[in-house]
Amino acid sequence: MALTPDYLLQSGPYRYSRNPMYVAEAAMWAGWTLLLASPTVAGATALLGLGLSRAVTLEEEALAARFGKTWQEYAAQTPRWLRIKPPGNVGH
């Protein structure tokens, strides 16, 4: 049974990333890799990244089918992983 939501959440952290929970999980694993300096953890982090990429692709296909044009517009304006805005002209 697929778990497709009833509405497309586009506010909060979803304004900056289509997958904020996955971004947080990947950041946590990357932090553990650096903290522990462990090749085993680094390998697990790499495998997690591959798995997340595949899961996100499947989820996005389901969301595109469910929400159509609304999904397309959201996906066009919101990055898959993370939006990092460049700093503005401070003092100008």
Q: Report the chain's terminal Cα–Cα distance, integer Å.
A: 55
What is the tens place of the pLDDT at every residue in 8-48? 999 889 988 999 999 999 899 999 999 999 999 999 999 98
Strand, coil or helix: 16 = coil
Tell me the pLDDT tens digit for each residue of 42-68. Answer: 999 999 889 988 999 999 999 999 999
Angle (deg, nearest 10), helices 39-67 and 69-77: 140
- Largest Cα–Cα separation, the chain: 55
Domain ranges in the chain are 16-77
What is the band of 86 on the pLDDT scale with cuts at 50, 70, 90? low
71/69 Cα distance (integer angstroms): 5
User: What is the pTM assigned to this prediction?
Assistant: 0.73
Please state, in angstroms and rounded to a whole number, the distance separating the CA atoms of residues 66 and 3.
11
